Amino acid sequence: MTDFLGLDEPPQPQSGAAYRVLARKYRPQTFRELIGQDAMVTTLANAIRRDRLAHAFLLTGVRGVGKTSTARLIAKALNCIGPDGQGGPTIDPCGQCEPCRAIAEGRHIDVIEMDAASHTGIDDIREIIEASRYAAVSARYKIYIIDEVHMLSKAAFNGLLKTLEEPPGHVKFLFATTEVNKVPVTVLSRCQRFDLRRIPAELLAKHFAGVVAAEGVQAEPEALALIARAAEGSARDGLSILDQAIAHAGIGGGAVSAGDVRDMLGLSDRGAIRALFGHLLAGEAAEALRLLRQQYDLGVDPAAVLKTLLETVHGVTLVKLGTDLSASQAAEEQAVMAKWATALSYPVLHRLWQLLLKGHEEVGRAALPIETAEMALLRLVHAATLPDPGELARALAAGSPPAAAPVAPPPSPAEAPLPATVAALADLLDASNRHLLAAGVRNRLRPIRYAPPELVASNATPLPADFARDLATELRAITGRQWKITTDAAPGEPTLAEQAASAKETERAAVLASPIVAAALESFPNAELIGWTTNGVRHA
């Protein structure tokens, strides 16, 4: 029995140190390693350099952006004595002196960390107040780091106020919280507050690339981009997902692939989503539902499908506005987005967004998620063929049947020739139901150079701020060509409205100078010209 239990065997040596998860292993040890918080680091550096250190700091932000890590870095920065033991507070702690090493290892006697979630009462705060009266044992400052400070009780907050307002000179308080709205205003007013930002996905992906390189692991850039997006601005969440993805890739040098990450996280394939979005725009209900069910059978949450469709609509809208998304999109995705941006109007995009947003909310609380998602997509298919409300109102006012919303790509340049004159340009905008822009072209535009698809307009008389951009966007949608519209300080030609008024005045003068009208006015001195007809057109 003893042999079976192995009690008589000598202890087996460990193969190595215990594994440390990436979120702990790559916790920033210097402010240079803290990503995405440059504004805060600059403020702290200036405060240390000018010896204007606050006695209490409040660090707030979403989970995983580095609040506790920043608090420890501040503790190191304030207590660092340098390799030679003669240094002072610095934004670049050496990491070699005893205070730096002890704080990094969590064993410094003068740096006390407390989790407010498990120490919420007044008695815990009394201990801090009593201990704060005594000088630091071995450090320059005695530092209290209180995590999730919003969970302290009302009595605990009240007990802390006096000490927080007038602490001893050797004491610093560092508070961290994810819910700053729950911290009393009386506490907030006694702290220097830093709002740590969500870390952009591009920075996270770059950081993760450095981590996998240090770990000796291969990873596809698209896989790291997916992890960065899934992290939603949190470095800790992203490193946890990356840890899982490396384990998912297996032993033997397996690379972390985008497909593996999608399978692991239940993310929908962007190619499949683009195909689904195309079928929705084309009104192909059966094919759209088939693709939705295909994603569902692969383990993708229906809410995740609708979320990705929302991201697609948002991306198309940004492309239509002229935003450059090439850094975060593959070439194939860029081409499709550009095509949709040209084909879809702003009202259609806004309507798609609202319908998808409503569908996403319904799926989130539905008893039958996949069935609810199908009904949401069917509603979208039906709406895709409806006319724009603005066009519908204009059509009803004109007494003509409304046209369906555009879902097909615009005609090719050969089928939609460019307008040869500015007047033709205004007529084209009117014919395409861009009446407001057409009015702007007629009444505000003073062309300096017109050579379609290029237009240089005068801004000597100020144009609306978004006029050039909106005109270029709508002309691209109408003609299928990229327009370049710029402004210059030169005076330019008169507007179409001014040209029409000038022509009308010239014609009026010619009518008044004609022999018959001149004779009539001479015979009837009190008569006046109230109108005339030219080529069947009445002028007043």
**506-530 mean pLDDT:** 77
Q: How does residue 21 score in pLDDT terms, banded at 50, 70 and 90? A: confident
Judged against a pLDDT cut of 60, whether residue 179 lies above it is answered with yes
Residue 401 lies in a domain: no
Of 312, 319, 199, 382, nearest to 304 by C-alpha is: 312
Residue 183 lies in a domain: yes
Burial degree of 464 (CB within 10 A; 0-12, 13-18, 19+): exposed
Residue 393 lies in a domain: no
Residue 105: give its domain's CATH number: 3.40.50.300
Count of CB atoms situated within 10 Å of the CB of 32: 10
Residue 281: give its domain's CATH number: 1.20.272.10
Of 490, 435, 440, 494, nearest to 464 by C-alpha is: 440
Mark whether 35 and 182 lie in a shared domain: yes
Mark whether 60 and 180 lie in a shared domain: yes
According to DSSP, residue 402 is labeled P
pLDDT of residue 4: 37
Mark whether 460 and 518 lie in a shared domain: no
284 neighbors 381 (Cβ within 8 angstroms): yes
Q: d(Cα 340, Cα 407) in Å, to the nearest integer?
A: 8
According to DSSP, residue 133 is labeled T
Mark whether 218 and 142 lie in a shared domain: no
pLDDT of residue 346: 86
Mark whether 39 and 140 lie in a shared domain: yes
Judged against a pLDDT cut of 70, whether residue 411 lies above it is answered with no
pLDDT of residue 249: 76
By three-state DSSP, how is residue 532 classified?
A: strand
Q: Which two tokens stand for residue 28?
A: 């920033």
0.85 exceeded by pTM = no
By three-state DSSP, how is residue 218 classified?
A: coil
**Percentage of residues in the chain having pLDDT higher than 70:** 86
Residue 155 lies in a domain: yes
Mean pLDDT is highest, among 187-191, 379-383, 524-528, for 187-191
Q: What are φ and ψ of residue 165, in 5° steps?
A: -75, -40
Judged against a pLDDT cut of 80, whether residue 446 lies above it is answered with yes
Domain that holds residue 479: 422-488
pLDDT of residue 358: 92
- Comparing 335 with 207, the larger pLDDT belongs to 207
Q: What is the pLDDT of residues 36-64, one digit of tens each?
A: 888 888 888 888 888 888 889 999 988 88
Q: d(Cα 237, Cα 204) in Å, to the nearest integer?
A: 11
Of 264, 285, 348, 266, nearest to 313 by C-alpha is: 348
Q: d(Cα 90, Cα 100) in Å, to the nearest integer?
A: 12
Q: What is the pLDDT of residues 418-441, one digit of tens each?
A: 888 989 988 888 888 888 788 888
Looking at every residue in the chain, the average pLDDT score rounds to 82
**188-205 mean pLDDT:** 88
Q: What is the pLDDT of residues 110-162, one digit of tens each?
A: 998 888 888 888 888 888 888 888 888 888 899 999 999 999 999 999 888 88
Mark whether 167 and 29 lie in a shared domain: yes
Mark whether 302 and 380 lie in a shared domain: yes
Rg (CA), the chain: 34
Residue 475 lies in a domain: yes
What's the domain count of the chain? 5
Q: What are φ and ψ of residue 450, in 5° steps?
A: -125, 110
Q: How does residue 413 score in pLDDT terms, banded at 50, 70 and 90? A: very low
pLDDT of residue 363: 92
pLDDT of residue 320: 87
Residue 451: give its domain's CATH number: 3.30.300
Mark whether 257 and 177 lie in a shared domain: no
Q: How far is CA 63 from CA 26, 100, 166, 200, 210, in A?
A: 16, 25, 30, 14, 22
Q: How does residue 489 score in pLDDT terms, banded at 50, 70 and 90? A: confident
Mark whether 464 and 428 lie in a shared domain: yes
| Residue given tokens 């007038």 in the structure block | 166
Domain C-terminal end among 360, 384, 408:
384
Mark whether 172 and 44 lie in a shared domain: yes
Q: d(Cα 251, Cα 267) in Å, to the nearest integer?
A: 23
Residue 2 lies in a domain: no
Mark whether 190 and 111 lie in a shared domain: yes
Does residue 462 come out as left (phi exceeding 0), alpha (psi in the -120 to 50 range) or beta? beta
Sign of the CA dihedral running 194, 198, 200, 205: positive
Domain C-terminal end among 265, 283, 310:
265
pLDDT of residue 286: 87
Q: How does residue 373 score in pLDDT terms, banded at 50, 70 and 90? A: very high
